[in-house]
Structure 1
Amino acid sequence: MVAEVAAPPSRRETRALLARAGRLQADAETIVGALEAARAEVVAAYEVASEPQVWDAVGKMSIETVKDTVDGRARLDELPAHGIRSVADVLEAGPERLKRVPGIGEVAARKTMHAAEQLKRAARDSLQFRIAFDPKNAELTRLVRSLAVYGLVWDAAGKYEGQAKKLAGELGTQRPIAAPAEAGRLRRMFMRAGDKAVADEAAQQVRALVEGADGLSEAADQVRAIRKPKDKQVWRDFERRSAEYYGLLGQVVGLGGDVAASEGFLPADIVERVGAQKLDTSRLDAGLRLRGYQSFGARFALVQRRVVLGDEMGLGKTVQAIAAMAHLAARGATHFLVVCPASVLINWAREVDKHSSIPVVSLHGSGRARAIARWRTGGGVGVVTFGSLGALQLPPPRPAMLVVDEAHYVKNPGAQRSQAVNRVAAESERVLFLTGTPMENRIDEFRALIDHLRPEIAGEMGREHAAISVEAFRRAAAPVYLRRNQSDVLTELPELVQVDEWEEFGREDGAAYREAVRDGNFMAMRRAAFAVHRAQDSAKLTRLLELAREAMANGRKVVVFSYFRDVLTAVSTSLGTDARGPITGSTPVADRQRIVDEFTAAKRPGVLVCQIEAAGVGVNIQAASVVILCEPQVKPSIEAQAIARAHRMGQVRTVQVHRLLIADSVDERMIELLGSKAQLFDAYVRHSTIAQASPGAVDMSEVQLARMIVAQEQQRLAV
């Protein structure tokens, strides 16, 4: 039987193909051009906006700095007497004015200028640039606007950039070669066989390029639809999402900072190996912009395979773990496992779902057996509590990466959960322990953690490493331990980092909530998560204690806000001697300030407990850099004012805001309703005269909100 030979495409089909290829080439060029133009504008705007900060830096460099750089024979001692006291003064003076200073000739003036210019370049290269919130500053406004536009273009088409460059180049080459393939039959009869074959082959290559370009044209249409945002819009957006703007800026220009600190002061050989590791981000959400230190942390986990990531709280350990898992998933890995306290299980599920395309399965609760079966069969990120880990009966499947959050929970080798983690770690290809609790002075605890990962390293670590110095400890732990501090890697400090801490009700607090819903008691519903006799029976209180203790272990002071006095009583009781206050509506104003002053002056970190409407205004709490909100507020303006007590002028640390929220509860209903209200607020009245005069004027009615939520929850729970 003779095999059938596919008929060559008709002239009409070839013409349609080349026309489609032409449109696709234009789309590819649109994407490439838009991204290049957006980056170029960011670079140009940054150069202008950063110049005053560079000049400020060289203005602080004394003339002695120039002397150290110039040939020692140059006589520069007379410069201060002639008003030239800094590197900036040298640059502004220029060579002609320098030559008028006694003892400085043409050669010395030229060398002095050259030294000053070198110092200015060094200042620019090492600049820790910050964007001051100053909508009236034209240079900063241009930069913020350029970053907003770049972010829009990147979100629309960033993931297609490499493909677009390839298509624009190859279609530009192949389309002209393929053009004769659409010639009529008569013309093709007179074409040389070789030319015809070349044209047909080029047409096939064009077809392959066109058929492999799914989504690119839609991305180009989104890019064309982008309109330059208004200045007020970009400043409002920057105010809400400044970290993302710095992430965009870091993609385009260097932001200075201590490179060695961002790499955890690791030895050069480890840094070199990590630097050589490419990070595949194709399974990460396009809106996630990893900071440089976060990319380094994910690659460290991939290269070193079994490690502890001990970054200070607020640096995004969760995101780094997700990035490492996403890289492995992009390379074909299927099963991952996250072990964490019950208080953060739902938060992990939400973060994985938000930042990656990896399926996430909660291996906890009443449907645990079915969930485990689904995870075993379909793969993804399984999220399990320490208590439920033993029920998984691993292997199989063998996790490509085991992530253990709050890893200091397994520091006791004799505990059942430690032994369960150890069994799973032994079967996992890679293991990543996460803990924000510093370990430098707890060598026995740290060694117990390392024993899960690299027993040979744990066996070689002794108390003498910690006794000598932190540096000696880190050298011994370098193959397995990476820690960075906020002040080292977040060069734009201070900023506001906001985290929603989603929890789930347990038996006791869940029962209190259902009773409040049945009674139609809105206020009781809002504080039901704390209506328990023991801290361990409250998911919110458990998480609050974890956050507060970790913050204090890192030398940070904490302020806790709640609307309800009985919630504050439960928090204060659970914190014991670490609690300060409380400040409530019945606390006299003078006493409020005294409590704050004592909290500020205290050398030991503590937790200031405050009723939100009492301490949310009129009291400055810059000493605290961690804010914990026990429940959503009916008026968003009250929450904003409370946060502003710590996030204000004089604050030198990043302010971390943790909102304690319960999924499928009054909290989630309030976030949904007030979130839509906030969008209307932003879109229409934020800058109106009424809004400026009274931020609460546009907040949703408390009575209306309560009735709506109570009705929704009674219907959902069928009570």
Structure 2
Amino acid sequence: LLAAAGPARGRLRLLFAGRRSRAGVREAVTGVRAAVADAAERGLPPLFAQVSADLLREPGSPAAAWVDFELRSAEYYSLLAELSGSGPDRDAAEGFLPSGMAGRVRGLRLDDARLRVSLRGYQSFGARFALVQKRVILGDEMGLGKTVQAIAALAHLAAHGETHFLVVCPASVLINWTREVRARSTLRAVPVHGPERREAFAEWRESGGVALTTFDALHALPDAAESGVRPGMLVVDEAHYVKNPETRRSRAVSGWSGRTDRVLFLTGTPMENRVEEFRSLVRQLRPELVPAVGAGHGAAGSRAFRRAVAPAYLRRNQRDVLAELPAVVQVDEWEEFGEGDLLAYREAVAAGHFMRMRRAAYARPETSAKLNRLRELVAEAAGNGLKVVVFSYFREVLDTVRGALGDGVYGPLSGSVAAARRQELVDAFAAADGHAVLLSQIQAGGVGLNMQAASVVILCEPQIKPTTEHQAVARVHRMGQIRTVRVHRLLAADSIDQRMLDIVARKERLFDAYARRSDVAETTPDAVDVSEGELARRIVEEEQRRLGAPTGG
């Protein structure tokens, strides 16, 4: 185009060009202008400026390159998959949507100016699906990052002028949502929960941001009409909580969804196994689709079901996008102490009893926040037919977990169980058809047993020695494991858990700097571990000071 438009640079050259040539020149000039306008619309000028600056930099050192890879591994893996042609099947990664709909979703340019995280290809597609289709259910299998896709959609809308967003979730994941919004985006997170929830709600209504509240708190707040706020998007996590339209929580959510143009329901349970549940959720989002979804669609298989419900439902399984996933996905599940848990914890702190402090979160099973979250994780794994291994340092905690989960649980494996019997339990767990749960003390499960039938690991509490956790997870994630392993670590905010993580993380960073990528990591595991006595003393004293308990106990 530039060559053809060349004569337009001077009047004399254009004058001596023939009539036909002048028409071609004008056409080329129009083409150049259109190309420049398109480039400006797509934001290419600042990108080219950035590239120019990057090209003038000195080459990075190998160490700097490795650090960059660790910080942005998702971008590297996505780019490598794209260049090598080894990425996941596009139809599968796009949830087998009809080609026309998938094309419209791909055509939206996701604005990531307010994001602090790199999205994998299928995650970007999920966020764009929510934006294009407006009122949808995102039903990705557990471990694929539904939360981050929702945050990406919110960030896009914020970049385009929306100011208010509302997230409704179970109390067990409220802290995680708050942390994720702050860590993954520049959006302002406003927890609307607890005794000061009305004040927090009024502050959100006035100043905007992402209001994060629970199902139980939502109905106690001003409703959508009363508040006068029209959120840019409503996100409902664990959406199966509102499947029954007669419940108070469902009516509260429905009131907001009726006044919000964009609504995103998140659920990790496969809807094709729960067609009636799906119809109930779709009735709140897209009632016109309900007559088209019959009970026979689920029986016809997942692809047939997804084609029938494509305008309002997107689900990808791990096997669909496995090429883009790391081998192990680790998630810290932060919980707030329940009233009974907190009382038990304060008593243990006052007594200066380190081990009681570690297991206090399970001292009152009927109100235990950790136990409640563990049940939710196991239920989601059951919905997906996944096997789960639950590790704890304490036999007493495992007994509590067993009581909470009921029948059909294997174990617990412990030091008092003979080695041959332990292997029998592991074999029976592996042979079980579909979902199963195995309980194990982390010391007993960390050595000599292979548990690769599982793909979900739940750690009931952080461990004093990082190598204890690493070895236990390695029992699951090893040769023969064909699925991504998802590791959930249950943690209580403002407690011994947080103090332990802070101290151990500092030790691990020092170790990483010197030994992580050498034989030392294999030959001297104690290099990364900490002195149990010293750690216990420091944490007990810190917590006694923080809670105003008498020291020296």
Q: 2:98 is matched with which residue: 251, 267, 270?
A: 267
- Does 1:422 pair with 2:254? yes
Q: 2:62 is matched with which residue: 229, 246, 253?
A: 229
- Does 1:450 pair with 2:333? no
Counterpart for residue 508 of structure 2: 678
In structure 1, how many angstroms separate the alpha carbons of the residues matched to 2:158 and 2:217?
A: 25
Cα separation, partners in 2 of 1:417 and 1:503, compared to 1, 3 Å: same
Q: Tell me which amino acid in the other structure corresponds to 1:523.
A: M
Q: Tell me which amino acid in the other structure corresponds to 2:90.
A: V
Aligned pairs for 1:291-330 (under 5 A) are: 291-330=120-159
- Does 1:480 pair with 2:303? no
Q: Tell me which amino acid in the other structure corresponds to 1:334.
A: T
- Does 1:575 pair with 2:422? no
Give the drift of 1:458: 1.7
Counterpart for residue 131 of structure 1: none
Give the drift of 1:694: 2.9
Q: Tell me which amino acid in the other structure corresponds to 1:297.
A: G
Q: Is the 8 A contact 1:487 1:493 kept in 2?
A: no
In structure 2, how many angstroms separate the alpha carbons of the residues matched to 1:503 and 1:244?
A: 30
In structure 2, how many angstroms separate the alpha carbons of the residues matched to 1:378 and 1:226?
A: 44
Counterpart for residue 16 of structure 2: none
Q: In the TM superposition, what whole-angstrom CA distance separates every residue of 1:659-705 from its partner, at most 9, and x where no partner exists?
A: 11111111111111100100011112345666432302441111111
5+ residue gaps, structure 2: 1-41
Q: In the TM superposition, what whole-angstrom CA distance separates every residue of 1:107-149 from its partner, at most 9, and x where no partner exists?
A: xxxxxxxxxxxxxxxxxxxxxxxxxxxxxxxxxxxxxxxxxxx
Counterpart for residue 375 of structure 1: 204
TM-score (normalised: structure 1) = 0.67
Counterpart for residue 559 of structure 1: 389
Cα separation, partners in 2 of 1:642 and 1:490, compared to 1, 3 Å: same
Give the drift of 1:391: 2.5
Instruction: Judge which range, 315-324 or 507-516, deviates more.
Output: 507-516
Q: How many residues align?
A: 505
In structure 2, how many angstroms separate the alpha carbons of the residues matched to 1:575 and 1:593?
A: 22
Aligned pairs for 1:161-310 (under 5 A) are: 162-163=45-46, 165-166=48-49, 224=57, 227-230=60-63, 234=66, 243=74, 245-247=76-78, 249-250=80-81, 254-285=85-116, 288-310=117-139
Q: 2:321 is matched with which residue: 483, 486, 489?
A: 489
Give the drift of 1:247: 3.8
Q: Tell me which amino acid in the other structure corresponds to 1:502.
A: W
TM-score (normalised: structure 2) = 0.87
What SS is found at the alignment partner of 2:220? helix
In structure 2, how many angstroms separate the alpha carbons of the residues matched to 1:484 and 1:567?
A: 34
Q: Is the 8 A contact 1:400 1:428 kept in 2?
A: yes
Cα separation, partners in 2 of 1:255 and 1:574, compared to 1, 3 Å: same
Q: Is the 8 A contact 1:243 1:495 kept in 2?
A: no
Counterpart for residue 665 of structure 1: 495
Counterpart for residue 476 of structure 2: 646
Q: 1:345 is matched with which residue: 155, 168, 174?
A: 174
What SS is found at the alignment partner of 2:219? helix
Aligned pairs for 1:599-678 (under 5 A) are: 599-678=429-508
In structure 2, how many angstroms separate the alpha carbons of the residues matched to 1:336 and 1:428?
A: 10
Cα separation, partners in 2 of 1:478 and 1:655, compared to 1, 3 Å: same
Cα separation, partners in 2 of 1:665 and 1:168, compared to 1, 3 Å: closer
In structure 2, how many angstroms separate the alpha carbons of the residues matched to 1:590 and 1:264?
A: 44
What SS is found at the alignment partner of 2:62? coil
Cα separation, partners in 2 of 1:167 and 1:422, compared to 1, 3 Å: closer
Q: Is the 8 A contact 2:467 2:528 kept in 1?
A: no
Give the drift of 1:441: 2.3
Q: Is the 8 A contact 1:509 1:528 kept in 2?
A: yes
Cα separation, partners in 2 of 1:716 and 1:167, compared to 1, 3 Å: closer
Instruction: Judge which range, 492-501 or 554-563, deviates more.
Output: 492-501
Counterpart for residue 12 of structure 2: none
What SS is found at the alignment partner of 1:505? coil
Give the drift of 1:318: 0.4
Identity percentage over the alignment? 59
Give the drift of 1:301: 0.3
- Does 1:433 pair with 2:265? yes
Give the drift of 1:616: 1.0
Task: With a CA cutoff of 8 Å and minimum separation of 6, indicate the structure with the bigger relative contact order.
Answer: 2
Q: Tell me which amino acid in the other structure corresponds to 2:540.
A: V
Q: CA RMSD in A?
A: 2.4
Counterpart for residue 195 of structure 2: 366
5+ residue gaps, structure 1: 1-158, 170-215
Q: Tell me which amino acid in the other structure corresponds to 2:267.
A: T
- Does 1:518 pair with 2:366? no
Larger Rg: 1
Give the drift of 1:162: 4.7
Q: Is the 8 A contact 2:402 2:409 kept in 1?
A: yes
Q: Tell me which amino acid in the other structure corresponds to 1:267.
A: P
Counterpart for residue 539 of structure 2: 709
Give the drift of 1:409: 0.8
Counterpart for residue 356 of structure 1: 185
